[in-house]
């Protein structure tokens, strides 16, 4: 089941503001936070630029929120696996 449209818009608004605020105060300018909404999941991501190739970066999930079938029920699951994605 995918996110209801209103909940998707709300998550998008909250996470875009959160990521913008966190990125503004990052000590390391080579890293930044972003997020991805897919199906019933919202994943908070950390992007790190590679030293050898500035146009490439590695992305790893920091946290994932999953929407359950019950209205308004989000459960937080910290995902400790590292996933490298070439952008």
Residue 23, helix vs strand vs coil: helix
* Phi then psi dihedrals of residue 31, to 5 deg: -120, 150
DSSP 55: T
Cα 48 from chain centroid (whole Å) = 13
Positions in the chain whose pLDDT score sits under 70: 1, 28-29, 54, 69-87
Calpha distance 67→8 (Å, rounded): 10
**pLDDT for the residue numbered 69:** 61
**pLDDT for the residue numbered 75:** 55
**pLDDT for the residue numbered 85:** 40
**pLDDT for the residue numbered 86:** 39
The per-residue pLDDT of the chain, averaged, comes to: 76
Which alpha helices (H) appear in the chain, and where do they start and end? 5-24
């Amino acid at each position: 089941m995918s996110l209801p449209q209103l909940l998707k818009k709300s998550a998008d608004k909250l996470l875009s503001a959160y990521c913008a605020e966190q990125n503004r105060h990052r000590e390391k300018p080579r890293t930044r936070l972003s997020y991805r909404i897919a199906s019933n999941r919202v994943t908070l991501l950390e992007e790190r630029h590679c030293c050898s190739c500035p146009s490439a970066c590695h992305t790893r999930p920091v946290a994932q929120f999953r929407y359950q079938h019950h209205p308004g029920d989000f459960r937080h699951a910290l995902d400790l696996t590292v996933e490298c994605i070439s952008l």
